[in-house]
Structure 1
Amino acid sequence: MSYQVLARKWRPRNFSTLVGQEHVVRALTHALSQQRLHHAYLFTGTRGVGKTTLARILAKSLNCETGITPTPCGRCSACLEIDAGRFVDLLEVDAATNTRVDEMRQLLENAVYAPTRGRFKVYVIDEVHMLSTSAFNAMLKTLEEPPEHVKFILATTDPQKIPVTVLSRCLQFNLKQMPALAISSHLAQILQAEGIPFEASALALLARSAAGSMRDALSLLDQAIAHGAGKVDEAQVRAMLGNVDQDYLFSILEVLREGDASGLMQQASLLAVRSLSFAGALQELAALLTRIQIVQCAPTTLDEDDPDRLRLLALAEQLSPEYVQLAYQIVNVGRAELALAPDEYAGFVMTLLRLHVFRPRSVSDVVAAARANPSAPPRPAVSASLSVRERPETDVPRTPPQSAVSHAATDWHALVGELPLSGLARELALNCELRELGEGHCLLRLSNSAAHLQMKPSPEKLQQALSNHFARPIVLKIELGAPSAETPAATAGRQRQERQESAELAIEKDFFVRDAIATLDATIVDSSIKPID
C-alpha cells in the first residue's frame, strides 16, 4: 500500500477529534442537536485551520444514516463514502477553477433535483471569494431560498472579497489560527500513535514554524521524520528549519550582561560557522527578549515545565525591564537594517555591538568600581546610566474628580478602574470627564485634542461596559469641549510627573550617587531615573 501523508491520514473524522476550533464545534453541535439547521454556512480562516474538514464533518452529520446528529457514526455507507470522497450527494467545488457565471448556473440547475443517496445534497464551495461578480449574482437567489434538500457550505481565506449580499445570507464562522501549544500536543499524539520517537522541544519548533496552521505543521512533521530517518529530535529539526539553537541566544544575552564585547564576537563567529540565518537569529533573539519581559512583568505566567525556566528567571532578574525594552527595539531595528548592511554578518555584529554599547550600568556598579580603585584619575565625559527599577503602578488613579455631576455619589476615576475595558475603549474612558449620570444615560466630555479616541467600536464598548456595571441599559453620549476638571488620564499624568520629580531629587541627594559623581566625574542621566513608588 502506498504511503499516505500525515495531513490526510490524520484528518479529523468527527467534531470530537477537531483541534483548536472549540467555539465553532460548540455552535454546530448545539445546532445539530436541536435541529436548528441553516441553509448556508460560511467558514473563514487562514490556510490549514480546518475549513474543508469542518465542511465534510458537517456533511456527515447531515447525511448519517442514524439521523441528523452531531456525532456521525462513521460506519454507515454515507459516512464511509464521504470520508473516501465519493459520496454522490456531496459536491465539492473549487471556485478558483470554476469562476465563470456559466459554470455556476450549471451547478445550481442541478440543485432542484432531489439527492440520490443522502438526506441532503451538500454543496461545498472552496475559496468562494474567487468567483466572479456575475457568478455571485447568479447564486444569490438560490443561496437565499434553496430547496429544502440543499445545504451550502462556503469556505474562504479572504472574506473581505465576498459581496455583503452573500455574507448576509450565510451563517458565518471565523476559524482562528491554532496556538502553538495545541499544535505541538496534537503532533505528539500522532507520533505516539505512529510509534515514532520524538523530542518535545522539536515539536515546539515545528508548531512555531507552522504559524497557526495544522496542515502546515503536519507537512513539516512529515519532512522532519524523513530528515531524521524515522525519528524527530531537536537538532535535526533545527537543521531542517534553519533555526538558531536557543543556547546561542541565551549565551549572547549572558555575555551581554557581563559586558564582554569579545564574547559577543565569538558568538557571532559560531553562528557564521554554522551558516545560520542572521535574520532568523535576530528574530529568535527578539522572541527571547519578549519572553524575558513577560517573566519580569507577569512571573506567574511562566510554565513550571518550561525547559528554559531557570535561565529565563536568571536573565529576568539580572537585566532591568527598561533595558529589555531597549534591547528588543535595537534587535528589531537591526533586523530591518540587514538589507542595508555591507553583508548580513556585518549587520548582525553591529546590532550586537549596539546592544553592548547601550547597556546600562547601575549605581552600585559605578560605586563599586570607584571604591575598588580609588587612586585612579577621574575619566572625563563618562556617563553613568543610573537605572532604578520601577514598581508597577495602577493604570487608573483613585483620586476623585472635582467636577460637579448630577450623580454626586459617582467617582468616575474609581468607576473606570472597575470597568473591564482595554485598548482604545479604555483610553477613551480615561480621557473623559463625567458630566451627568442618570438612570438610563451617561454624558461624558472629551477634549478636542483627544477626539480621535471616539473611533468605533470604542464608544459602543464603553456603553456596554457601563450597562453591564449598573445592570441597566445606559445610553452614552460624548460631547467635545475642554474638561472643567482633571480626567483620570490627566490626574495619572500629573501624579507620575510629581513622582518623577521626587525621584530625581532623591537621586541627586543620594550619598552613593554624589560619591560616584565626585570620584568618576560622572553625570546623571535623568531619563534613566524611575520612581519606585
Structure 2
Amino acid sequence: MSDSADDDTPMLGMDLPETAPQASSGPYRVLARKYRPQTFAELIGQDAMVKTLGNAIARDRLAHAFLMTGVRGVGKTSTARLIAKALNCIGPDGQGGPTIDPCGVCEPCRAITEGRHIDVIEMDAASNTGVDDVREIIEAVRYAAVSARYKIYIIDEVHMLSRNAFNALLKTLEEPPAHVKFLFATTEVNKVPVTVLSRCQRFDLRRITPDMLFAHFSSILQKEGVEAEAPAIWLIASAAEGSVRDGLSILDQAIAHADLDGGGKISAEQVRAMLGLSDRSAIAQLMTTILEGEAGGAIDLARAQYALGIEPIAMVRGLMELTHAVTLAKVSRHDDPALAAADRERIAEWAQKMGFAPLNRLWQLLLKGHDEVLRANNPLEHLEMLLLRVIYAASMPDPGELAKLLESGGVRTAAPGAPAASTAPDQAAVDATSGAPEGSASEPPSLTAAQLHHLLETAGHHRLAGLVYDHLNIIALDPGVLAYAPAPALGDGFARDISEALFAATGSRWQVRTDEGEGRPSLGQMRAAKLADNEARIRELPVVKAALAAFPDAKLEASPDNRHRTGS
C-alpha cells in the first residue's frame, strides 16, 4: 500500500493488479508497488471503513468529500483510488452502477488503474500548495465529467496546502456540483483547518497489527517463491510499525539480503543484522551482567557489540525492550512470537525474581539514558557511563526503603552470624504498652523508662512525656522512687509536676528527686545514637556509597511519618 503516487508514469500513475511473479523481461518492481491493493477485499485492516463505504454506496448516500487519515503506509491513497473505481465502475456489461466491488475489467476501472482516466485527477498538495493550483480546480469543477459518472479529485497530503488555498477551496468544497467528488489523504490531520474537516466525511485508517502484517507478508513470500523463518517475518512485521509499505520495503531488502548470502532463505539473524538490531543473546548477557553488578563485564560486552557494528542506541533500546518484556511477563501480558523458547524461559525467570520497583527504576534510568546517548557526540562513552549508573543505582533501595532501614536498623553490614542491632527504645515502649501498670494504692508499680513515658502519654501529660523522652537522664528508677540527673531543660517544677502526675496515674506516692551523676541517656538520646549508628552502617553499603559519590549533596533522612514527635 502507498499514500502517494510513486510510479514511473506521470502524476496519475497507478499499478495493474498482479498475483504472480513477472518474468524478468521488464524492470523489477518493488513489492510495495507490485502488491498494491486493487480491490477493497485486498485492503487489509480497514474493515470498518469498507463496511461504511459499502453501506453508503448501497443506499446511495455518498458524501461529496472524503478525508482519509492515518499513519504512513496504511492505504490512504490506495483507498482513494479504490473509491474512484467503485464510484465510476460500469460493470463488465457496461450497465452497472456504483459498487463496493468494482469489476476491474470495464473501461473506467482499467483506465483508473492505469492512471489514464481523464476524469480522475490526482494532485500532490506538497508540490501544489498555492491558491493558483486550487483556482484551477475551482474553475474545472463547473464542467461535467467527460466520460465517467463522477469527476474525482484526489489530493494527497492535503495538509500541505497553504491557508489561502484552503480558504479558496471552502465554498466549492461545501457546495460542489453533483458530478464532483473530493478525496483527500493526509498523515497530519491536525494541520487541516476545522472548516475543511467539517465539510468532509472522515475515515481514520487503523495502524495494521503485527498479526495481519505477518499473514500478509507470508502470503507475498509464498507468491514470490521465497522461504523465510517465522521469527524473521515477525521481526519485519514489528519493524514496520503498522505500515504495510514500510514492511514491504524491508521485506524486499530481506529477500535481496538472503539471496546474496546464498540459500535464498530469510533467517532471523540476517534480518537483525540487516536492520542493525542488537542481538538478543548479547542483550540478554548484558542484562545479566547489569543485574549481577558486574561493571567490568558490562563494559566489555558493550564494546564487543560496538566493534561488531551495533550502535550504542540500539543496545539501549534492546535493554529497554527486555525490561519492558520482563515487566509485562510479571502481569502475564508478554507475548512475542519472535522469541525463542530459551528467551521466553529467561524472561519468565527474571520476572519471577525481580519486583516491580526495581524494574521501574531500571526503566526510568534507561529511558533517561536513551535521550542522552541519542544526542551524544560520542555515544559509546555515554553508553558506558549509563551502564555504570544503572548498575550502581538500579538495585539501590528507594528513599522510602532507606527511611525504614534507618528507623528499624534492619540493615546488616557485618558478616553472617554477627549480632543484630539492639531494639529501638521507641519499639520497647510499644512492646511495654500491654504491660503498663494500672497503679495500686498500697504499692507503687515497677516501671522502666519507656513505660514511664508511655504512662504519661496515655494519661494526657504530653508535655511531661516529651521532657522525659528528650531530657530525663535516670539515675535510679525503683517502685516509688525516681532519681535523675539535673538538666536545665527540665525546669524547676519538673519534680513536683511529675510526682503529681504519677500519683494521679498510679494512685501511689512517688519520691522524685535529683541526684549526683550523669545518669543513663534519655530515650531520645538513645534513639538518636541508634539512628546515627544505623546511618553509619548504611553509608558503608556499596550502593549507597555509589549514590553519595554521584550526588555529594544527598542526605539520608528518616521519613516524616516515622520520626518521633515530642511534646505533642
TM interval, shorter chain, is 0.5 to 0.7
1:254–1:315 contact (8 Å) kept in structure 2? no
Tell me which residue corresponds to 2:281. 247
Tell me which residue corresponds to 2:201. 171
1:238 is the counterpart of 2:242: no
More displaced stretch, 353-362 vs 198-207: 353-362
Distance 1:78 1:168, change over 3 A: same
Alignment partner of 2:227 out of 197, 209, 212 = 197
Q: How big is each residue's C-alpha offset from its partner over 1:37-68, in whole Å with a ceiling of 9 and x where there is no partner? A: 10110112232221100001111111111321
Tell me which residue corresponds to 1:18. 43
More displaced stretch, 1-10 vs 155-164: 155-164
Matches within 5 A, 1:103-502: 103-229=133-259, 230-296=264-330, 298-302=331-335, 306-307=339-340, 308-338=343-373, 343-360=378-395, 373-374=416-417
Q: How big is each residue's C-alpha offset from its partner over 1:268-294, in whole Å with a ceiling of 9 and x where there is no partner? A: 132122121101110221122112111
Task: Look up the SS of the partner of 2:202 in the other structure.
Answer: strand
Tell me which residue corresponds to 2:112. 82
Distance 1:284 1:180, change over 3 A: farther
1:184–1:203 contact (8 Å) kept in structure 2? yes
1:244 deviates by 0.4
Task: Supply the AA of the counterpart residue of 2:384.
Answer: V
Task: Supply the AA of the counterpart residue of 2:74.
Answer: V
Q: What's the TM-score, normalizing by structure 1?
A: 0.66
Task: Look up the SS of the partner of 1:36 in the other structure.
Answer: coil
1:190 deviates by 1.2
1:204 deviates by 2.9
Tell me which residue corresponds to 2:84. 59
Q: How big is each residue's C-alpha offset from its partner over 1:466-515, in whole Å with a ceiling of 9 and x where there is no partner? A: xxxxxxxxxxxxxxxxxxxxxxxxxxxxxxxxxxxxxxxxxxxxxxxxxx
Task: Look up the SS of the partner of 1:148 in the other structure.
Answer: coil
User: In the aligned structure 1, how far is the partner of 2:41 from the partner of 2:126?
Assistant: 31
User: In the aligned structure 2, how far is the partner of 1:526 from the partner of 1:295?
Assistant: 34
Q: What's the TM-score, normalizing by structure 2?
A: 0.62
2:413–2:537 contact (8 Å) kept in structure 1? no
Q: How big is each residue's C-alpha offset from its partner over 1:286-338, in whole Å with a ceiling of 9 and x where there is no partner? A: 12211211111x20553688533222211111222111111111112222223
User: In the aligned structure 2, how far is the partner of 1:24 from the partner of 1:265?
Assistant: 51
User: In the aligned structure 1, how far is the partner of 2:302 from the partner of 2:334?
Assistant: 31
User: In the aligned structure 1, how far is the partner of 2:123 from the partner of 2:286?
Assistant: 52
User: In the aligned structure 2, how far is the partner of 1:209 from the partner of 1:96?
Assistant: 27
Distance 1:20 1:374, change over 3 A: same
User: In the aligned structure 1, how far is the partner of 2:257 from the partner of 2:144?
Assistant: 50
Distance 1:259 1:173, change over 3 A: same
Task: Supply the AA of the counterpart residue of 2:329.
Answer: V
2:235–2:338 contact (8 Å) kept in structure 1? no
Give the structure with higher Rg (CA).
2
Task: Supply the AA of the counterpart residue of 1:75.
Answer: V
User: In the aligned structure 2, how far is the partner of 1:269 from the partner of 1:235?
Assistant: 20
Q: How big is each residue's C-alpha offset from its partner over 1:317-363, in whole Å with a ceiling of 9 and x where there is no partner? A: 12221111111111122222236768322221222222222343899
1:132 deviates by 2.7
1:257 deviates by 3.0
1:302–1:309 contact (8 Å) kept in structure 2? no
User: In the aligned structure 1, how far is the partner of 2:230 from the partner of 2:199?
Assistant: 45
1:211 deviates by 2.9
Tell me which residue corresponds to 1:5. 30
Number of equivalences: 390
Gapped regions of structure 1 (runs ≥ 5): 379-516, 528-533
Distance 1:370 1:135, change over 3 A: closer
User: In the aligned structure 2, how far is the partner of 1:269 from the partner of 1:305?
Assistant: 26
User: In the aligned structure 2, how far is the partner of 1:267 from the partner of 1:199?
Assistant: 28
1:202–1:233 contact (8 Å) kept in structure 2? yes
Distance 1:4 1:525, change over 3 A: farther
Task: Look up the SS of the partner of 1:115 in the other structure.
Answer: coil
More displaced stretch, 170-179 vs 301-310: 301-310
Task: Supply the AA of the counterpart residue of 2:231.
Answer: S
Task: Look up the SS of the partner of 2:155 in the other structure.
Answer: strand
Task: Look up the SS of the partner of 1:178 in the other structure.
Answer: coil
1:47 is the counterpart of 2:80: no
Task: Supply the AA of the counterpart residue of 1:326.
Answer: R
2:372–2:382 contact (8 Å) kept in structure 1? yes
Task: Supply the AA of the counterpart residue of 1:204.
Answer: W
Q: How big is each residue's C-alpha offset from its partner over 1:418-471, in whole Å with a ceiling of 9 and x where there is no partner? A: xxxxxxxxxxxxxxxxxxxxxxxxxxxxxxxxxxxxxxxxxxxxxxxxxxxxxx
2:231–2:339 contact (8 Å) kept in structure 1? no
Task: Supply the AA of the counterpart residue of 2:65.
Answer: A
1:205–1:237 contact (8 Å) kept in structure 2? yes
Tell me which residue corresponds to 2:506. none
1:525 deviates by 10
User: In the aligned structure 1, how far is the partner of 2:396 from the partner of 2:190?
Assistant: 51
Gapped regions of structure 2 (runs ≥ 5): 1-25, 92-96, 402-409, 422-535, 545-555, 560-568
User: In the aligned structure 1, how far is the partner of 2:28 from the partner of 2:540?
Assistant: 74
Task: Look up the SS of the partner of 1:338 in the other structure.
Answer: helix
User: In the aligned structure 2, how far is the partner of 1:44 from the partner of 1:284?
Assistant: 31
1:7–1:219 contact (8 Å) kept in structure 2? yes
1:377 deviates by 13
1:244–1:284 contact (8 Å) kept in structure 2? yes
Distance 1:526 1:72, change over 3 A: farther
Tell me which residue corresponds to 2:56. 31
Structural RMSD (CA): 3.5
1:257–1:319 contact (8 Å) kept in structure 2? no
Distance 1:376 1:226, change over 3 A: farther
2:125–2:160 contact (8 Å) kept in structure 1? yes
1:224 deviates by 2.0
Tell me which residue corresponds to 1:447. none
